[in-house]
Amino acid sequence: MTVDAPPGPIAPVSRPKRVARDWYDSLSDWYDLVADPFEAPARRTGLQLLDPEPGERVLDVGCGTGTALVLLARAVGETGTAVGIDLAPGMCRVSRNALADAGLDPGVVIVGDGATLPFPDDAFDALFASFVLELFDTPDLLPVLEEWRRVLDPDGRLCVVALSRRPSPVTELYERFHERFPMFVDCRPIYVRETLLEAGFRIVDGRTERVWRLPVEVVLVRPASSRS
Q: Is residue 56 part of a domain?
A: yes
Task: Give residue 1's pLDDT band: very low, low, confident or very high (50, 70, 90).
Answer: very low
Q: Is residue 130 part of a domain?
A: yes
Q: Is residue 9 part of a domain?
A: no
Amino acid identity at 154: P
Q: Is residue 175 part of a domain?
A: yes
The pLDDT of residue 225: 84
Q: Is residue 185 part of a domain?
A: yes
- Reply yes or no on whether the pLDDT at 130 is more than 80: yes
Task: Give residue 227's pLDDT band: very low, low, confident or very high (50, 70, 90).
Answer: confident
**Closest Cα to residue 134, out of 226, 30, 214, 54?**
214
Residue numbers of the domain that contains 185: 17-221
Global pTM reads 0.90
- Reply yes or no on whether the pLDDT at 104 is more than 60: yes
Q: Are 211 and 219 in contact (CB under 8 A)?
A: no
Q: Is residue 149 part of a domain?
A: yes
CA distances to 122, 129, 165, 197, 225 from 204, in Å: 19, 16, 20, 11, 13
Beta strands, E only, the chain? 57-61, 81-86, 109-111, 124-130, 152-163, 201-211, 214-223
Q: What is the CATH number of the domain that holds 54?
A: 3.40.50.150
Q: What is the pLDDT of residues 187-214, one digit of tens each?
A: 788 999 999 999 999 999 999 998 778 8
Query: Is the pLDDT higher at 175 or at 199?
Result: 199
Q: Is residue 5 part of a domain?
A: no
Average pLDDT, the chain: 89
- Reply yes or no on whether the pLDDT at 141 is more than 90: yes
Q: Classify 120 as helix, strand or coil.
A: coil
CA distances to 2, 112, 187 from 126, in Å: 26, 18, 23
> Across residues 150-163, what is the average pLDDT?
97
Q: Is residue 8 part of a domain?
A: no
The total number of structural domains in the chain stands at 1
